Amino acid sequence: MKPSDSISKMALVNTIVAKASFVRSNRYMFAGLCVFVGIVLFSSMGTVVIPYHPVRIGNVPRDLLPSYEHPLGTDSLGRDILAQLCFGTLMSLQVGFIAGIVGFAVALAVSFIGGYRGGNLDSGLTILTEVFLTTPSLVILILIASLVRRIDIPLMALIISTFAWAWPAKTMRAQVLSLKERGFIYLSKLSGLNSVEIVVKHMIPNILPFLGSYFAVVVSAAILSAVGLEVIGLGPRDTTTLGMIFYWAMMHSAVTRGLIWWWFPPCVMLFMIFLSLFLVQKGLDEIANPRLKSR
Amino acid sequence: MGLPYLVRRTVVYALSLLGGVIINFVVPRLIPGNPLQAKLMELQRMGIRVAGQDFVDKYMRIFGLNEPLHIQFINYLSSLAQGNLGVSITRFPMEVKELIAIYFPWTIALLCTAQLLCFLIGVPLGALVGWRTNSKASNVVFAFFLVLSQMQYYTVAMTLLYLLAFVLPIFPTGAAYTYGADYNAFQFILDVMWHAALPAVSIILVGVGGWTLAARGLMVGVKNEDYIALAKAKGLKDRQIFLSYALKNTLLPQITDLAITMGFVATGSILVEVIFGYPGMGFLLYRSITSLDYPLIQGISLMYVLGVTTAAFIVELLYPVLDPRVRYE
Out of B16, B27, B150, the one facing A131 most closely (by C-beta) is B16
The number of beta carbons lying within 10 Å of the beta carbon of residue A10 is 10
Segment B6-45, tens digit of pLDDT = 888 888 899 989 988 888 888 777 655 555 666 677 667 7
Q: What global pTM score does this model have?
A: 0.84
Q: Which amino acid is at A2?
A: K
Question: Mean pLDDT per 10-residue run, chain A (295 residues)?
Answer: 57 63 72 94 93 86 85 88 94 95 94 87 89 85 79 90 90 86 84 85 86 92 91 87 92 87 93 93 83 57
Interface mutation vs chain A, best among B5, B6, B11, B16, most A CBs within 10 Å: B16
Gap from A49 CA to chain B (nearest CA, Å): 28
Please list every residue in chain A whose beta carbon sits closer than 8 Å to the beta carbon of residue B152.
224, 227, 270-271, 274
* Residue A140 confidence (pLDDT): 86
* Residue B76 confidence (pLDDT): 81
Sign of CA dihedral A151, A156, A160, A165: negative
The 3-state DSSP class for residue B87 equals strand
- Confirm or reject contact between B269 and chain A (CB < 8 A): no
Among the listed residues A28, A38, A96, A60, the one whose alpha carbon sits nearest the alpha carbon of residue A268 = A38
The distance of Cα A108 from the centroid of its chain, to the nearest Å, equals 15
Residue B329 has pLDDT above 50, yes or no: no
- Do the beta carbons of residue A238 and residue A244 sit within 8 Å? no
The Cα diameter of chain A in Å comes to 72
B70-98 as b/e, with b when 16 or more CB fall inside 10 Å?
eebbeebeeebeeebbbbbbbbbeebbbe
Gap from A140 CA to chain B (nearest CA, Å): 7
Please list every residue in chain A whose beta carbon sits closer than 8 Å to the beta carbon of residue B31.
147
Gap from A200 CA to chain B (nearest CA, Å): 25
Please list every residue in chain B whose beta carbon sits closer than 8 Å to the beta carbon of residue A295.
133
Gap from B167 CA to chain A (nearest CA, Å): 8
- Confirm or reject contact between B151 and chain A (CB < 8 A): yes
* Residue A98 confidence (pLDDT): 96
ipTM score assigned to the predicted complex:
0.80
HSE toward the beta carbon, residue A23, CA cutoff 13 A? 13
Sign of CA dihedral B78, B82, B85, B91: negative
Can you tell me the mean pLDDT for B301-312? 88
Percent of chain B with pLDDT over 90: 7
Segment B162-181, tens digit of pLDDT = 999 888 888 887 777 777 77
